[in-house]
Amino acid sequence: DVVRGQLACLRPRGWLNDEVINFYFKLLQERCKRIPGMRQCWLPNSFFWPMLCGRQCMEYSYKNVKRWSKRAKVDIFKVDYVLFPMNVNGMHWAVGAIDFRDRGFRYLDSMFDSPHPNFAKFLRRYVNDEHLSRHGTPLEGIHSWDVLEEPCGVPRQHNGYDCGVFTCGFAEYLASGRTQLCGQADMAILRKRLAARIIRADEMWDNT
């Protein structure tokens, strides 16, 4: 659970901490289960990527995350997206996604254009290892999966502290199947919405 002291980061100019981001991803997970029209998603927490990619994103380890999907009772090949928050160099947030609808990977980052060079490489290995573990065979065509371009580009932050808010907004965009990403002009109201949703700990919010 998130305590009120941890919510202070949602005040204007605050840099979101991992407790707030992970809790919001948990709410989105429950929302995907309960709201008609939401994408089928699995949203592991911010430890997923560093456990998978190792120190400085250079040491792939399926062993570190092999039990994660089983513990969550999820077969990733039956979902639309696997969405996970990424802490980049300990100072920036972005969203990584495995897209089973379009057979590729997404990287939504409000500051940088490209992910780490091992992003797609390690996710290809993860998806293939997961298929081997779950279904006993390599996943056909996995070697062609790569980073997908966002049709309208990814909005940019105009400061050094809104990346976590963008990250939560980007995750909701993918999970809900919306056609428009949030932008810098949405950050103030989105901070208020995040705070209200987390305080209520209720995934059944209105989209108004």
Q: How far apart are CA 75 and CA 192, in angstroms?
A: 34
In one-letter notation, the amino acid at residue 133 is S
92 is catalytic: yes
Q: Whole-angstrom Cα distance, residue 74 to residue 14?
A: 34
Q: Give the active site residue among 109, 129, 162, 182.
A: 109
Q: Under the phi-then-psi rule, with left for phi > 0, alpha for psi from -120 to 50, and beta for the rest, what region is 177?
A: left
User: In whole angstroms, what is the distance from residue 19 CA to residue 154 CA?
Assistant: 25
Catalytic residue among 57, 92, 129, 168: 92
Catalytic residue among 9, 53, 163, 182: 163
Catalytic-residue membership of 182:
no
Both tokens assigned to 38:
């939401």
Q: Which amino acid is at 129?
A: D
CA pair distance 128, 141, nearest whole angstrom:
10
Residues acting as catalytic residues: 92, 109, 163
